[in-house]
Structure 1
Amino acid sequence: MMFDKDIQIRGKHATYWKALSKGPANARDTSKSFKVFENYIYVYMLAPIIGIVYGHRGKIDSTNSKDTAGMLAEILIKNQSKLKYIYRLIMLLDDSEGLTKEEKLNRAFHEDDNEESTKAGLAVFHSYFLGGLEILYENFVERCITDEDYIQRMYEFVEEFKREQKIDETPLDINELLKSR
């Protein structure tokens, strides 16, 4: 099964994860810096999407192995349907392993009970999570000092994303599409 066990990471990515979000309710945060995310699960859901959109996969780096971050299975299980949805998107969009369309579809939708396939899929998911953490940390921790910096960077990041993904150039007229149904 996926997203039903505690997860914990060490090293620089743990530092990044903690820097981007408010900690669990029982954790003391001594940092005075602005936190982009309300909690760890939001980072865990968004970072892989950022990683795949920007084509950036991270590798575990435990050089600073004293720092750890993680989540309990209870939180993952509570958000399991959303996480599986994101997982399936990642499996369909990832081209790093040279899988055919059929193999991608099978990994995304038909192999949840195949331990070997799920393990490989989760490795891909987590590599995009780490890559997304790196991008988010660079953009919102390294580049920002004041609250104004965060607001400005957030605006710039969203505008860059819209431009790069050509969101405003969508040829579909959503209203027309909805009317035709």
Structure 2
Amino acid sequence: MLWDQEYHAKGDLAFKIKMLAKPDLFTKGDLDFCFFNRYIDAIECASIVGFKMYNSLDEFNKALQALPEDSHPDAVAEVPIKTILKEQKKLKFLFRVIMLNENVRGLSLKEKVDNAFRNDSNPDLQEKNEELFNKFVRLGIDVLYERVVDAGNAEDCLDIMCEYLIN
């Protein structure tokens, strides 16, 4: 299950998570602040951002196809099990909200409810649901990273993110 083990990100995903949560690695303009305090915070926010932006089959597939080639194959970001367990309720909540509302797979309401609450004991379905959730995280991290990179300074970054998240 996704929320009872360490979380490992590799490649560009890991690099971008680190850029969002570790200000000493980011050297553009005066962005000397930490947008997220922890990797898990970036992941949680990204799940909603990715879901909000790409919750239709066409948008979702176009976004996945548009992801750039992995330019940081050696990058690794890990969230320890202790942090995952501490955040487990929030992570499950986000997972369930997304499973109940996703429109990518064209599921019925019953199937969405089953995915959110009942398919924990079905490893194949659970794996597909976790894969979808992780794709929303990946797409959301990409959006968040691009917004931070496009900002000229810390204030611009916060303005961009507030505007994006509110609209």
Per the TM superposition, whether the score is higher than 0.5 is yes
Q: Which residue of 1 aligns with 2:135?
A: 127
Q: Which residue of 2 aligns with 1:36?
A: 35
Q: Which residue of 1 aligns with 2:151?
A: 144
Identity %: 25
Counterpart-to-counterpart distance in 1, 2:107 and 2:69: 27
Three-state SS of the structure 1 residue aligned to 2:78 is: strand
Q: What pairs with 1:61-80 in structure 2 (closer than 5 Å)?
A: 62-80=70-88
> Per-residue CA shift, 1:3-34, capped at 9, x if unaligned?
111121111111100000038xxxxx555632
- Give the C-alpha shift of residue 60 in structure 1: 9.5
| Alignment check: 8 A CA contact 2:19 2:25 kept | no
Counterpart-to-counterpart distance in 1, 2:123 and 2:2: 10
- Give the C-alpha shift of residue 151 in structure 1: 1.4
Task: Sort the Cα spacing of 1:61 and 1:130 in 2 relative to 1 into closer, same or farther, 3 A.
Answer: farther
Q: Which residue of 1 aligns with 2:57?
A: none
Three-state SS of the structure 1 residue aligned to 2:45 is: helix
| Alignment check: 8 A CA contact 1:20 1:35 kept | yes
Three-state SS of the structure 1 residue aligned to 2:120 is: coil
| Alignment check: 8 A CA contact 1:2 1:84 kept | no
Q: Which residue of 2 aligns with 1:103?
A: 111
Amino acid paired to 1:101: L
Moved over 3 A (4+): 29-33, 56-63
Task: Sort the Cα spacing of 1:75 and 1:61 in 2 relative to 1 into closer, same or farther, 3 A.
Answer: farther
Q: What RMSD over aligned residues (CA atoms) do the two structures have, in Å?
A: 2.1
TM-score, structure 2 as length reference: 0.82
Higher RCO structure (Cα 8 Å, ≥6 apart): 2
Unaligned runs of 5+ in 1: 24-28, 165-181
TM-score, structure 1 as length reference: 0.76
Q: Which residue of 2 aligns with 1:6?
A: 6
Q: Computing the radius of gyration over CA atoms, which structure comes out larger, 1 or 2?
A: 1
Amino acid paired to 1:20: L
Paired positions, count? 154
- Give the C-alpha shift of residue 64 in structure 1: 2.2
Residue 159 in 1 paired to residue 147 in 2? no
Amino acid paired to 2:155: I
